[in-house]
Structure 1
Amino acid sequence: MKENKYDENSFFQKYSEMPRSIYGLEGAGEWPALQAILPDFHGCSMLDLGCGYGWHCKYAANHGALHVTGIDLSEKMLEIARKKNADPKITYRRTAMEDLSFPAETFDIVFSSLAFHYVRDFDALSQNIRAWLKPGGTLLFSVEHPVFTAYGSQDWYYDENGQILHFPVDNYYYEGQRDAVFLGEHVVKYHRTLTTYLETLLRLGFRLEHVIEPKPPKELMHLDGMEDEMRRPMMLLIRAKRKI
């Protein structure tokens, strides 16, 4: 299923009001942890799967990438990317990442930010990514943490006074489609276990370099609700290298 929720006007308006949409990379809570494990972009070609507003594409171009291809299914996202993060070294394309086709060993880096949990078949996508990467190339991606996606609702349990009790984790080993609520609207996402993420990459010939569950950065801890983000992981960062 290739749901394109981001081209719905009401949903996109809500997304455009998020800090990561307004402030870019500095508005993303996981950015400090992600920035710390970025590869060297100098002289590289990069593919960004689910590029959104193009913040990461522009960062790579500004840090020495020779060419960046940004892929997204949302035309509204790409319209913003072409306005805010245009660069002669960046090509933006509208398509689903599951439908992509590239010659073997095209890219030095394949990157994705918070997009793979919208993909039904992670195994098939990972096989394609391995083929598109040059030997020794880097795969770096962030996804919603399996603890966060397991139950489906992606919301806390509250008491009768509206105070947070705990975060529900249930049906963890039952992988597959979830009806999640994001920005107050129902969105289709796909849950898979930590084992599936890691073992899929290992089986396909990747060498794991970093597996990180990023904490909220100290400079954002003053924001409403941020202290509660210390109670369970929300995101997962994985960096792996295709073996030669």
Structure 2
Amino acid sequence: MEYRGSTVYNQDDFFSEYMKRRNRIDSPNNAIEGPIIHELIRDVDQKNILDLGCGDASFGKELLLLSANSYLGIEGSEQMIKVAETNLKDTVGSICYSSIEDYNFPTDSFELITSRFVLHYISNIELIFQKVFNSLRENGQFVFSVQHPLTTASNESKQSGDRRESWIVDDYFLTGERKEPWINKIVVKYHRTIEQYFTILRKTGFRVDQLREGTPKRIHFKSEEEFLRRQRIPVVLVFSCFKME
């Protein structure tokens, strides 16, 4: 069986194992992607924030503690929603139970829209980028991360297990659907080149301010071994874009 979008997170065994991996100090989320996201969004004071695919909303809690005016997380997994509601208890943050594709984006409503390791699950990325653009206020910022295209191009090096010790890059320019083995499940993702992401963003009307590939920094890793391993290939691609009208 294969899982699309956030449906895989509703499987108890997958969800439990995912949360263990996600919360490791040396996970790519915490050691690589997280520091970049925080650096790029800079000041969130009094900003209204939309987070697409918010997961457990721990990021939203952080943003509210940094004086964000409001936080709305969009999440399509029932399992994640339960954890997110607990994390946002006694805050002004809120959660909307919806897939990103089905969410009714309000026009000119947010100063910042974020999405972390989610948009590679989306088939029609052009439509989502347009909805994000319309939902941002003038000079609003869109910051998002995806799995790096060098790792989504081919799943050949994952056939022996989730922990890759070598990376095979193949079929890079053959974009589209990929069925990836992950935590004993088959998860559907969508492979795009870096050039495609950049071109679609520009075509939508965004000014692409920064592109980051997640250069590892030793300070963020507990393990020297994992730090050296993560220097071998990029696992994250991050864009910071602005709506300039």
With the length of structure 2 as denominator, give the TM-score of the two structures.
Answer: 0.89
Structure 2 residue aligned with 1:202: 202
Structure 2 residue aligned with 1:142: 145
Structure 2 residue aligned with 1:126: 129
Instruction: Determine if contact 2:26/2:222 at 8 Å carries over to the other structure.
Output: no
Computed over aligned residues only, the root mean square deviation of the Cα atoms, in angstroms, reads 2.6
Structure 2 residue aligned with 1:89: 92
Instruction: Determine if contact 2:159/2:181 at 8 Å carries over to the other structure.
Output: no
Q: Is 1:115 equivalent to 2:127 in the alignment?
A: no
Q: Is 1:45 equivalent to 2:48 in the alignment?
A: yes
Q: Deviations over 1:112-142 (max 9, x none)?
A: 0100011111101001100111111000001
Cα gap change, 1:230 to 1:101, in 2 (>3 Å): same
**Which letter maps to 2:208?**
L
**What SS does structure 1 have at the residue aligned with 2:46?**
coil
Instruction: Determine if contact 1:154/1:181 at 8 Å carries over to the other structure.
Output: no
Distance apart, 1:2 and its partner CA: 3.8
Instruction: Determine if contact 2:212/2:239 at 8 Å carries over to the other structure.
Output: yes
Structure 2 residue aligned with 1:5: 8
Distance apart, 1:83 and its partner CA: 1.4
Cα gap change, 1:243 to 1:92, in 2 (>3 Å): same
Q: Which runs of 4+ in 1 moved over 6 A?
A: 21-26
Q: Deviations over 1:131-168 (max 9, x none)?
A: 1111110000011011111113563889xxx994x311
Q: Is 1:100 equivalent to 2:103 in the alignment?
A: yes
**What SS does structure 1 have at the residue aligned with 2:186?**
strand
Q: Percent identity?
A: 27
In structure 1, stretches of 5+ residues that fail to align are none
Instruction: Determine if contact 2:113/2:141 at 8 Å carries over to the other structure.
Output: yes
Structure 1 residue aligned with 2:211: 211
Structure 2 residue aligned with 1:237: 238
**What SS does structure 1 have at the residue aligned with 2:32?**
coil
Instruction: Determine if contact 2:26/2:223 at 8 Å carries over to the other structure.
Output: no
Instruction: Determine if contact 1:32/1:217 at 8 Å carries over to the other structure.
Output: no
**Which letter maps to 1:89?**
V
Distance apart, 1:226 and its partner CA: 3.9
Instruction: Determine if contact 2:45/2:68 at 8 Å carries over to the other structure.
Output: yes
Q: Deviations over 1:101-122 (max 9, x none)?
A: 1331111111001000111111
**Which letter maps to 1:241?**
F
**What SS does structure 2 have at the residue aligned with 1:58?**
helix
Moved more, 54-63 or 84-93: 84-93
Point out which structure has higher relative CO (alpha carbons under 8 A, 6+ apart): 2
In structure 2, stretches of 5+ residues that fail to align are none
Structure 2 residue aligned with 1:34: 37
Distance apart, 1:97 and its partner CA: 0.4
Distance apart, 1:33 and its partner CA: 2.1
Cα gap change, 1:156 to 1:223, in 2 (>3 Å): farther
Structure 2 residue aligned with 1:175: 175
**Which letter maps to 2:231?**
M
Moved more, 31-40 or 136-145: 31-40
Cα gap change, 1:230 to 1:184, in 2 (>3 Å): farther
**What SS does structure 2 have at the residue aligned with 1:17?**
helix
- Distance in 2 (alpha carbons) for counterparts of 1:108 and 1:67: 10
Number of equivalences: 240
Instruction: Determine if contact 1:151/1:171 at 8 Å carries over to the other structure.
Output: yes
With the length of structure 1 as denominator, give the TM-score of the two structures.
Answer: 0.89
Q: Deviations over 1:21-66 (max 9, x none)?
A: 7899984432222221123211111100010011211111111211
- Distance in 2 (alpha carbons) for counterparts of 1:92 and 1:14: 23
Moved more, 50-59 or 177-186: 177-186
